[in-house]
A and B are shown apart, each in its own frame.
Chain A
């Protein structure tokens, strides 16, 4: 019998404690690994997608037909530098692979080998040889022909377009991912708190054994060494399955996530092999050792004074003040994240201190001894369950913030869809065609009585004077200014902005330009347009949802002569007339057999479906975190209250009825969980504010609206009550069992003194 086996005997004697600790470690690892896996996979896929479609051009048939091998052969014979690009969505996969011909790619790259493309091996992540890709059983496959536009002239049957398939959401995707990253860090913090609380609980129950071993002459350092070995063994047993479980969880959700990313962020989700073992293993192992064994690195006196002593309130206050100052003043993301960490640490320290101080004060003020004892017992619970309570508080705050963020994103995406896809159809004016004649035709043939709405968009460039410099901005000129745009939500505006815009009495600017240059409604904007310098009042600021370029929106009817139109399109809601009649007429008018028409309705429908999915996934992950925190509090509340049961039994011995004792226990459990929820509200609101109003503007230059959802607060409070009731019911069960008289005061101390 060795001291180490004697230490391990705790888990032989109390196997369920070992199982609970291991399970919590496993679940915590799985949770964080899952979230990390999803975000890193999404990030890697997005980055891969951006990389592979960057600055590439494709060939399309003018008649709109799909490209075939015959097209490839014909174009190659014309001497064009071409590469076939076969995108395949395999039957049992959620992400695409790309079949390429490395030999053909050589004419782009100038050098390389036949076993790789863009420096990446042809292993299917995402690139593979086109012959292998063609042989895959596929749900969907599409051939593209990537072309070097300078390699030769095209015949009239083909045209060159950008290799991009959907509207660009700009930085909206990056923003969403950044917020997910921030949440993943928060989940890591909560995971750490949970692990620490459960581990400390198991240690506290073994403290007598440690003391005894010390009396037997086993040095404290050696006992700590055994505990580290035990921890490593526990980690080996739980981390690997936890990581595996996290991956399974992530992969189960990844299909949905991939399609979400694909739908949302204009990036085809390509197969990307993420390294999912190393980072979670190292992070979780470090976290485990840090949260469980870090105490031994801090001198006892310092730890006692910092955590238990009266200074913790002051320390918490200081962290909060410094953190809040940082949040307000931070001018870069790093400072902001540090400030968030300080605020969370301050809030975490403050909560047990506050509740403990409150209970002491209320206990002192009580005249009835039983009530005084109730408040004292509440204080004991708050002190001894401080860590799981803080974990629950932060989890609730996170869920609150995520709920607000996701709902805000949801609403923002809706508005973005409304703005970008306001009409049912989007129609490009072909190169060389005259948009003005089409506008004339539409004005004559789409009467208001038909319910049809339309406008023409002329896109070009202008320069605005900002300080002493002139900067290029995009110009969107609309005509007519009608119901397709007048529903847009403006951040700020003058009186009747749309009427004045239509009358050419001013311009609207996008949020990005306004934020960057501190412009607002009513300001005057010097504008160099078609060689003329005019000064226009700003009628309002409209949200751009992440488009980084500065934009000026003006009336197309008041464009100066000589304005260079770089792109022209129509947005049309055809009403009762039908789009086929309109495209047929315009096709005839322009003498173009095939027009590029985008069905905005179906895109919006698809986008809505994937939005719903992504938001459901995000909510699911945060709710899992909350569930984990709730289970931890439940377990710890149960175990800890069991050690105090003896004192409640005394009440029974003194003549109190068991139902009355149960009510006291239940009310204590409810009060504790409800306290965590109530204190989570300000933290959650603060976190929401930081995410939408500070992180986003600092990272991307635009903000999301700060919306609060009080209905959800009530849901969280109800959830906290459910947790409290569960603890109370478990205690009710315990109350019926024989309680063990505490033999050593240290095992049941509530730090009452």
Chain B
């Protein structure tokens, strides 16, 4: 039997107060096994990023249950989890602008308690080893995203949360970055939750959660491809 990494039950989140309140997520239920991959689909504003933020403890849910690594979200040490077990890749701004690519990876590894010696290796694996000493503003968007992936893999996470990691890239570069992401995820055996509006990218995940219509979010279900 597959070990369950993440269980979400009846999760809800809204922003604003009283009459101005906007419900972003309501009664959301799903789970994710260890090593599994899940695509979060939906248009802008459907709650993909909000859900990812809740899954890494940056936003508290208004209601519902969220259990990650066997820890209830109310009692989880989120900072510790983000340091060592959850890797987050955003659409952009994943890197410290004042550190070189290599130093960014080293920082992430050291925070996770992983050896810094392997950091260059991860840059090499992602084909940007020769750019190790460049700063983020000296490389292209695709190269920055690969560096962000290198940072995440250097920490040996159990779960990767990726928020539109290829959203700002051209098709070719996006495919290269996605290839790297899925290849390394398979190699390391970590779980992946990927927020995207790209159906082709989502289809590479084991399962998909459609958050497209807020009104139907409560009926959302994990569909196996």
A contact residues vs B (CB 8 Å cutoff): 1-3, 6, 9-10, 12-14, 208-209, 212-219, 740, 743-744
B137: interface (CB < 8 Å): yes
B150 adjacent to chain A (CB < 8 Å) = no
**A209 CA to B94 CA in the complex, in Å?**
9
B69 at the interface (CB under 8 A from A): no
Q: Does B84 contact A (CB under 8 A)?
A: yes
What is the chain B residue whose CB lies nearest that of A12?
B98
Chain A proximity of B68: nearest CB distance (Å): 14
| Whole-angstrom CA separation of A219 from B78 in the bound complex | 10
The answer on a CB contact under 8 Å between B103 and A9 is yes
Closest residue of chain B to A220 (Cβ to Cβ) is B79
A1-B99, A209-B97 known; A6 vs B107 contact (CB < 8 Å): yes
Q: Are A14 and B82 neighbours in the complex by a CB distance under 8 Å?
A: no
Cα A219 to Cα B81 in complex, Å, equals 12
Does the CB pair A215–B58 fall under 8 Å?
Answer: yes
Residues from chain B with a CB closer than 8 A to the CB of A3 are 107, 111
Bound together, the chains give a CA A217 to CA B110 distance in angstroms of 12
Residue contact A218 to B96, C-beta cutoff 8 Å: no
List the A side residues contacting B106 at CB < 8 Å: 1
A12 CA to B103 CA, complexed, in Å? 13
Task: Among A9, A213, A744, point to the contact of B93 (Cβ < 8 A).
Answer: A744
A9-B110 contact, Cβ under 8 Å, with A217-B83, A218-B79, A740-B137: no
List the 7 shortest-distance A-B pairs measured between CB atoms, nearest first.
A217-B83, A217-B82, A13-B98, A1-B106, A9-B98, A1-B107, A217-B79
A164 to B187, CA, bound (A): 95
Min Cβ gap A301→B in Å is: 14
A114 to chain B, nearest CB (A): 66
Contact check, B84 vs A217: say whether CB atoms are below 8 A apart.
Answer: yes
Interface size for B (C-beta < 8 A) is: 28
A13 to B133, CA, bound (A): 13
Distance from A40 Cβ to chain B, minimum over Cβ atoms (Å): 42
Known contacts A216-B82, A217-B79, A217-B84; decide if A209 and B96 are in contact (CB<8 Å).
yes
Return A463 CB to nearest CB of chain B, in Å: 77
In angstroms, Cα B199 to Cα A201, docked, is 42
Interface string of B107-124 (1 = CB under 8 A from A): 111110000100000000
- Cβ–Cβ contact B92 & A218, under 8 A: no
Considering the complex, give the chain A residue whose CB is closest to the CB of B87.
Answer: A216
Whether B110 lies near A2 (C-beta < 8 A) is: yes
26 contacts between A and B (CB under 8 A): A6-B96, A6-B99, A9-B103, A10-B98, A12-B98, A13-B97, A13-B98, A208-B93, A208-B97, A209-B97, A212-B93, A212-B95, A214-B58, A215-B58, A215-B88, A216-B108, A216-B111, A217-B78, A217-B80, A217-B81, A217-B111, A218-B111, A743-B92, A743-B93, A744-B92, A744-B93
- The answer for the CA separation of A14 and B137 in the assembled complex, in Å, is 13
CA distance A415 to B116 in the complex (A): 78
Q: Do A218 and B83 have beta carbons less than 8 Å apart?
A: yes
On whether the beta carbons of B98 and A209 are closer than 8 Å, the reply is yes
B109 contacts across to A, CB distance below 8 A: 1
Counting chain A CB atoms within 10 Å of each CB, the highest count among B79, B83, B110 belongs to B79
Closest-CB distance, A130 to chain B (whole angstroms): 65
Query: Which chain A residue lies CB-closest to B57?
Result: A217
Contacts of A218 in B (CB 8 A): 79, 83, 111
Q: Name A212's contact: one of B83, B84, B94, B137 (CB within 8 Å).
A: B94
Closest A residue to B135 by beta carbon equals: A13
- Residues of chain A contacted by B81 (CB below 8 angstroms): 217
Residues of B within 8 A of A743 (CB): 92-93
Give Cα A218 to B108, complex, Å: 11
**How many Å lie between the Cα of A218 and that of B82 in the bound state?**
8
Q: Is B56 an interface residue (CB 8 A)?
A: yes
Determine the distance from Cα of A216 to Cα of B84 in the docked complex, in whole angstroms.
Answer: 9
**Contacts beyond the supplied A6-B107, A212-B93, A216-B111: 7 A-B pairs with Cβ under 8 Å:** A1-B103, A6-B96, A6-B99, A208-B97, A213-B96, A216-B108, A217-B80
Asked whether, in the complex, the Cβ of B110 is within 8 Å of the Cβ of A1, the reply is: yes
Which residue of A is nearest B102, CB measured? A1
Contacts of B79 in A (CB 8 A): 217-219
Within the complex, the shortest CB–CB distance from A177 to chain B, in Å, comes to 48
How far is B200's CA from A434's CA once the two chains are assembled, in angstroms?
Answer: 120
Residues on A with C-beta less than 8 A from B80 are: 217
**B117 → A minimal CB distance (Å):** 12
Residues of A contacting B96 with CB < 8 Å? 6, 9, 209, 212-213
CB-CB under 8 A from A1, the residues of chain B are: 99, 103, 106-107, 109-110, 116
- Which residues of the partner chain A approach B103 to less than 8 Å between Cβ atoms? 1, 6, 9
How many Å from the CB of B119 to the closest CB on chain A? Answer: 9
B77 CB → nearest A CB, Å: 9
> For A740, what are the chain B residues with a Cβ–Cβ distance below 8 Å?
137
Which of these, B83, B93, B135, contacts A216 with CB under 8 Å? B83
Residues on A with C-beta less than 8 A from B137 are 740
The CA-CA distance from A3 to B96 in the complex, in Å, is 11
Question: In this complex, what residue of A is CB-closest to B92?
Answer: A743
Bound complex: CA of A28 vs CA of B116, how far in Å? Answer: 41
Q: Which residues of B contact A216 (CB under 8 A)?
A: 82-83, 107-108, 111
State A2–B106 Cα separation when bound (angstroms): 8
Scan B157-173; emit 1 where CB is below 8 A from any A CB, else 0.
00000000000000000
